């Protein structure tokens, strides 16, 4: 042991002589990170990406990104002798003739699905808790960029094996390119090296897939993590947590073990899934040919919403001055996603402009405490889910035995009607949760114990809330809508910006308007005193009552606090007998 310690010391000295790294290590290893399950979502994304890099590198050793036609002569009997591209043939080889090749392919594909899923849920966590607020707006922006690139990487990878499904996906992508006004035809001509499908696209996508996009993702992930490190992680409100501190565990040893272990857990689970569940069985689809298609084919899940948008759009096309514009394709496949991603990217600046909030925020919001933001989020999510359902309208039609037309029309209307409804409902739920929080502070926790008073009235007994909960509830941030600006200043000069500020103030009132404020300190003190009094009064009654069994008429008691004082128990039994006798009389 001491030999290893000595060797370690020597190595550390060697490094420090050259880099003066001791201080850096001291600070880094002792760095504190807060702990919460929702902070693992970003970790899952990161670890899936590492798994993707490892498995993808494996695949490159055998995959041939070539569209040259070859005759297949591998182990998969049903396709022996069939003409296909070298890309497809080499993917079959990876699947059937390279030991562990199928496993690596399936690890790669599953990890890609988990990657996009983890990024998406991580993004929702960041949105609904307001973690994107100052000073973290740029990390939000990087996150939106990462999501976009993940979709591109996934689509490019899905297209590489050149099977029937991936070729059909590329055909759709080319059709979408063509719909871009003015430059679309050129774009397609350049991307495909001439007509569709040509013989260049697979090798070009290959460079994009294994070098360009992963390289940018890697750079952005690095920047993302450096920012988290430098600005320190946000934390949820709670006892001891303030906007000026970080409460949690040190990197060494807790997060070394936990995060390191979690990487292995993610990698292990992905591998298990890849061993047990088939994904993208390209041999079943056959090689790509532009004149065949399989019914009911579905893209990977993260493309579903775009597919849905394409399906729902009414068929509008116009010819202006002899130029053709396919609104039916351009709007759902280019304009809608463009707007969605732009809105997402700019949201932090929108919110801080509306609210006039320029403070640093290191304590996360509970979603209920910002009902408008939460409502906007649920509204966007509803929109996304409706599009996603649209992407599977044929499957749904078959499954529920309704017509595709009916579903399509329902969604065409629903896409405009349901999101605003979701907004209103969410906002209301948030506000009633806020109200309940306030109730809790003022009247304590409902114990679930109901007591019948001697004169027959039933009351529910309240208990004090825990220190943790009290800290969380009392951390509810104060919000102030912006005041209406004066239209003229003290000297009677017209305020030129008044119009814009008026709009901003209206928006801010809309944003914060219905907030349920915390009780004032005086109200809370009075409530605390009242609760203490109530507890003092009810405790003896309750002690007696809980000695009775649950179910005894008039008393519903929590068995957890049964007393073992024999005298009390005897008294309680007597009381119960009397009550039962009474009940007997009542019945007869």
Partner 1 sequence: MTDNSPTPQSSSAAETGTDVVARNQGHDIPGLPPHRPRQTDIDPRAAKRAERQVALMFLASALMTVLFVIAFVQIPTTDTWPVPFFNATINASNTALGVTFGLAIFFIGAGAIQWAKKLMPDKEVVQLRHPLKSTQQERDEAAEVFWDGADESGFGQRKIIRRSLLLAMGLFPIPLVVMLRDLAPGPLDLGVLKETLWEEGSRIVTDPLERPVRPADVPIGGVVSAMPANLTEVQHEEGNLNARAKAAIILVRMAPEDIQSQQGEGWDYQGILAFSKICTHVGCPIALYQQRTHHLLCPCHQSTFDLSDSGNVVFGPAARALPQLPITVDEEGFLIARSDFDQPVGPSFWERDR
Residue 424, Cα to own-chain centre: how many angstroms? Answer: 21
CB of 414 to ligand HEM, least distance (A): 30
User: Is the Cβ of residue 185 or residue 495 nearer to partner 1 in the bound state?
Assistant: 185
CB of 233 to partner 1, least distance (A): 10
| Residues contacting 588, CB < 8 A, separation 6+ | none
**Pattern 29-58, binding to ligand HEM, x per CB under 6 A?**
-----------------------xx--xx-
Q: Which of residues 200-229 bind ligand HEM (CB under 6 A)?
A: 209-210, 213-214, 217
Task: Mark the segment that binds ligand HEM (CB under 6 A) among 150-158, 320-328, 378-386, 493-501.
Answer: 150-158
The three-state secondary structure class of 138 is helix
Distance CA 498, CA 552 (A): 68
470 belongs to the binding site for partner 1 (CB under 8 A): yes
Choice from 314, 454, 492, 540 touching partner 1 (CB under 8 A): 314
178 belongs to the binding site for partner 1 (CB under 8 A): yes
User: Is the Cβ of residue 367 or residue 391 nearer to ligand HEM in the bound state?
Assistant: 391
338 belongs to the binding site for partner 1 (CB under 8 A): no
State the residue number with the nearest CB to ligand HEM: 157
120 belongs to the binding site for ligand HEM (CB under 6 A): no
| Residue/partner pairs of 280-283 with CB below 8 Å, 24 or more apart | 280/105, 280/106, 280/109, 280/158, 280/161, 280/165, 282/88, 282/91, 282/92, 282/95, 282/161, 282/163, 282/165, 282/166, 283/76, 283/78, 283/79, 283/92, 283/95, 283/96
Residue 481's φ and ψ, nearest 5 degrees, are: -60, 150
477 belongs to the binding site for partner 1 (CB under 8 A): yes
Distance CA 547, CA 208 (A): 73
Choice from 50, 98, 334, 579 touching partner 1 (CB under 8 A): 98
Choice from 145, 175, 356, 554 touching partner 1 (CB under 8 A): 175
Whether the link from the prior residue into 253 is cis, omega within 30° of 0, is yes
Choice from 14, 19, 61, 186 touching partner 1 (CB under 8 A): 186
The binder of 362, among ligand HEM, partner 1, none, by C-beta within 5 to 8 A per type, is partner 1
The three-state secondary structure class of 288 is coil
User: Is the Cβ of residue 76 or residue 327 nearer to ligand HEM in the bound state?
Assistant: 76
The binder of 63, among ligand HEM, partner 1, none, by C-beta within 5 to 8 A per type, is ligand HEM
Distance CA 51, CA 49 (A): 5
| Residue/partner pairs of 441-445 with CB below 8 Å, 24 or more apart | 441/465, 441/470, 441/473, 441/474, 441/518, 441/519, 441/524, 441/527, 442/519, 442/523, 442/524, 442/527, 443/527, 443/531, 444/531, 445/469
- C-alpha distances (whole Å) from 280 to each of 96, 163, 164, 269 are 14, 10, 11, 18
Choice from 248, 367, 377, 419 touching partner 1 (CB under 8 A): 248
The binder of 138, among partner 1, ligand HEM, none, by C-beta within 5 to 8 A per type, is none
The binder of 215, among ligand HEM, partner 1, none, by C-beta within 5 to 8 A per type, is none
CB of 218 to partner 1, least distance (A): 22
User: Is the Cβ of residue 285 or residue 423 nearer to ligand HEM in the bound state?
Assistant: 285
Q: Which of residues 555-584 bind partner 1 (CB under 8 A)?
A: none
In this structure, are residues 280 and 298 in contact, taking their beta carbons and an 8 Å threshold?
Answer: no
Q: Which of residues 58-87 bind ligand HEM (CB under 6 A)?
A: 59-60, 63
CB of 45 to partner 1, least distance (A): 16
Both tokens of 568, joined, read 């009390």
User: Is the Cβ of residue 175 or residue 337 nearer to partner 1 in the bound state?
Assistant: 175
DSSP string covering 328-388: HHHIIIIIHHHHHHHHHHHHHHHHHHHH---S---BPPPGGGSHHHHHHHHHHHHHHHHHH
Distance CA 279, CA 154 (A): 14
Both tokens of 545, joined, read 């009552």
Task: Mark the segment that binds partner 1 (CB under 8 A) among 122-130, 303-311, 542-550, 566-574.
Answer: 303-311
The binder of 210, among partner 1, ligand HEM, none, by C-beta within 5 to 8 A per type, is ligand HEM
The binder of 283, among partner 1, ligand HEM, none, by C-beta within 5 to 8 A per type, is none
Distance CA 359, CA 112 (A): 37
Chain contacts with ligand HEM (rule: CB under 6 A):
52-53, 56-57, 59-60, 63, 91, 94, 105, 108-109, 112, 115, 150, 153-154, 157-158, 160-161, 209-210, 213-214, 217, 280, 282
């Amino acid at each position: 042991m001491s030999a290893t310690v000595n060797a370690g010391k020597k190595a550390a000295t060697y490094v420090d002589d050259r880099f003066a790294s001791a201080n850096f290590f001291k600070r880094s290893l002792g760095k504190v990170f807060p702990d919460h399950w929702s902070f693992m979502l970003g970790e899952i994304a990161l670890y899936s990406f590492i798994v993707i890099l490892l498995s993808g590198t494996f695949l490159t050793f055998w995959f041939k990104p070539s569209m040259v036609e070859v005759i297949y002569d591998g182990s998969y009997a049903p396709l022996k002798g069939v003409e296909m591209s070298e890309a497809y043939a080499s993917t079959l080889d990876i699947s059937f003739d390279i030991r562990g090749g199928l496993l690596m392919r399936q690890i790669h594909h599953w990890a890609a699905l988990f990657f996009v899923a983890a990024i998406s849920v991580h993004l929702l966590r960041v949105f609904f808790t307001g973690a994107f607020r100052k000073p973290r707006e740029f990390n939000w922006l990087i996150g939106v960029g990462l999501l976009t690139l993940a979709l591109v990487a996934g689509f490019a990878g899905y297209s590489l094996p050149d099977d029937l499904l991936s070729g059909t996906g590329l055909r759709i992508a080319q059709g979408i390119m063509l719909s871009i006004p003015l430059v679309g035809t050129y774009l397609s001509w350049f991307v495909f090296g001439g007509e569709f499908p040509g013989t260049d696209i697979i090798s070009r996508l290959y460079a994009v897939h294994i070098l360009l996009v992963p390289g940018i993702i890697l750079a952005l992930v690095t920047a993302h993590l450096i920012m988290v490190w430098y600005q320190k992680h946000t934390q949820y409100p709670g006892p001891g947590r303030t906007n000026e501190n970080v409460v949690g565990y040190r990197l060494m040893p807790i997060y070394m073990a936990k995060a390191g272990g979690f990487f292995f857990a993610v990698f292990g689970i992905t591998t298990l899934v890849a061993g047990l569940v088939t994904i993208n069985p390209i041999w079943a689809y056959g090689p790509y040919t532009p004149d065949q298609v399989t019914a009911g084919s579905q893209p990977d899940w993260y493309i579903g919403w775009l597919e849905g948008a394409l399906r729902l759009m009414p068929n509008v096309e116009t010819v202006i001055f002899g130029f053709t514009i396919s609104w039916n394709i351009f709007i759902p496949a280019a304009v809608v996603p463009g707007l969605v991603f732009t809105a997402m990217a700019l949201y932090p600046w929108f919110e801080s402009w509306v609210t006039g909030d320029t403070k640093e925020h290191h304590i996360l919001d509970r979603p209920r405490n910002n009902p408008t933001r939460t409502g906007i989020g649920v509204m966007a999510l509803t929109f996304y889910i409706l599009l996603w359902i649209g992407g599977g309208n044929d499957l749904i039609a078959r499954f529920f035995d309704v017509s595709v037309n009916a579903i399509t029309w329902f969604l065409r209307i629903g896409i405009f009607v349901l999101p605003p409804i979701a907004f209103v409902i969410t906002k209301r739920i948030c506000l009633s949760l806020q109200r309940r929080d306030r109730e809790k502070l003022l009247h304590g926790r409902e114990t679930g114990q109901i007591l019948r008073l001697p004169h027959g009235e039933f009351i529910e007994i309240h208990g004090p809330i825990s220190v943790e909960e009290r800290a969380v509830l009392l951390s509810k941030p104060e919000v102030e809508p912006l005041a209406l600006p004066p239209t003229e200043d003290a000297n009677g000069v017209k305020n030129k910006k008044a119009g814009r500020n008026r709009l901003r103030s209206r928006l801010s009132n809309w944003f914060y308007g219905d907030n349920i404020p915390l009780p004032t300190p005086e109200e809370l003190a009075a409530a605390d005193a009242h609760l203490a009094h109530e507890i003092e009064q009810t405790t003896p009654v309750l002690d007696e009552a809980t000695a009775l069994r649950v179910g005894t008429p008039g008393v519903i008691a929590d068995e957890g606090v049964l007393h073992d004082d024999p005298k009390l128990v005897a008294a309680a039994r007597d009381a119960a007998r009397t009550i039962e006798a009474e009940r007997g009389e009542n019945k007869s």
